[in-house]
Structure 1
């Protein structure tokens, strides 16, 4: 391996959705620096942050149809039973749900939690309250997917946050996704909810850190005992 290949492997790729924003920050940094040099340095720092925000690292996804993988980087903000959004058509009975909150410092590329076929995509406009709040699942702008699998139907909901103003979904109805495959992103702070079949057993607790495409959130075969957690 050449030194150039080694360097390239150490550099995290940038998602194409971020190019225009990084360019905009860079131009603003130049203009601010021309006005007053300290402002230019602030603009440079913001440009580097923007590039960091839109990073798109490779992930190692466990290959097991019984596992539910995190769709987002961030902190687990809720684990419990909740009624899914009506536009998903999953009924009114509470379902197991795990929510991942993404801060502005987390990678915002979203990945499929399970392998399956997308049977429905529903967008709903709404508010932009803090995505870490309970009411964000009901009130905020969101984009919802139904993924059909042999184990049942899964709902994946991208929720815009206080700063987020754009939900991006690359997938289409009829697409077949592999577990860990990229399907979208949300710009600048947000949340992703995963609604699971009744037999799903959560393996994470509130406050745990999740890595999209890698962290196992739940198990469908019930082989793993329900876990308890403590803060240490």
Structure 2
């Protein structure tokens, strides 16, 4: 009897990318047998890259929208932006930092600079605006597939899946205006976990907009 293989949850649409590799493996059986192993390995790697493990959000605070390393922490007028760079080894499913109602989901075209560079501020992105705060899913030089899961009118809870960026790249949260930089508990280069690491310890109060 064959042993049971562990099941791995993957992001929506991941099987579409992996299927291309598995089809290539079938074709390679006939036209180029040595390529079978390569195609199968690529297919497995795609599924691993799009893995979607469960998370346990805390009961309060504003949590990280992405796994990765804090690459941006700056004030923009009366708001604070926290940006998280997702390396190739990080989980790329993004999560709501706190409860809210989606007011709009806007695609903004732009460049494809490396997500860890300052030039990535001009990159293509999808902005999820919840009124009191915003989340930006940002493409990089290689990552050019942004997949939002939410739309205007959706009610979010802390840690809820809101989208993923295939093969990249960066996720930012613009905090509610009542918070300043001193309220942020993380520092640049610190590693965070989506849906679990608290960027801000306290719960946002009712919107002041």
Could you tell me which runs of 5 or more consecutive residues in structure 1 were left unpaired when the two chains were aligned: 84-92, 223-232
Instruction: Give how far 1:58 is off.
Output: 0.8
1:219 pairs with 2:198: no
Following the alignment from structure 2 to structure 1, what is the Cα–Cα distance between the partners of residues 78 and 126? 19
Change (3 A) 1:32 1:205: farther
**Counterpart Cα distance in 2 of 1:31 and 1:206:** 46
Deviation at 1:205, TM superposition (A): 1.5
- Which deviates more, 212-221 or 105-114? 212-221
Q: After superposition, what is the alpha-carbon deviation per residue over 1:122-150, rounded to whole angstroms, capped at 9, x for unaligned?
A: 2111111111112212x1111112224xx
Among 184, 199, 202, the residue aligned to 2:179:
199
- Are positions 1:187 and 2:171 aligned together? no
Task: State the partner residue of 1:140.
Answer: 123
Verify: 1:104 aligned to 2:88, yes or no: yes
Mark the CA change 1:68 to 1:45 in structure 2 (over 3 Å): closer, same or farther: same
Are the counterparts in 2 of residues 199 and 220 from structure 1 also a CA contact under 8 Å? no
Q: Does residue 173 of structure 1 match 2:155?
A: no
Distance 1:179 1:221, change over 3 A: closer
The answer on 1:37 being equivalent to 2:33 is yes
Taking structure 2 as the reference length, what is the TM-score of the superposition? Answer: 0.87
| Aligned counterparts of 1:129 and 1:34: Cα–Cα separation in 2 | 39
Bigger relative contact order, structure 1 or 2, given CA contacts below 8 A and separation 6+?
A: 2
Deviation (angstroms), 1:94: 5.1
Between the aligned partners of 1:120 and 1:154, the Cα distance in structure 2 is: 12
Task: Please state whether the residue corresponding to 2:102 is helix, strand or coil.
Answer: strand
Distance 1:212 1:165 in 2: 21
Contact 2:79 2:179 in 1 (8 A): no
What does the per-residue CA deviation read over 1:83-109, in whole Å, with 9 as the maximum and x for residues that have no partner? 3xxxxxxxxx25211111112222111
Farther-moved stretch of structure 1 (71-80 vs 170-179): 71-80
Q: Which runs of 4+ in 1 moved over 6 A?
A: none
> Which residue number in structure 2 is paired with residue 225 of structure 1?
none
Task: Find the partner of 1:19 among 10, 15, 18.
Answer: 15
Counterpart for residue 207 of structure 2: none
Q: How many residues align?
A: 199
- Cα distance in 2 between the residues matched to 1:58 and 1:194: 21
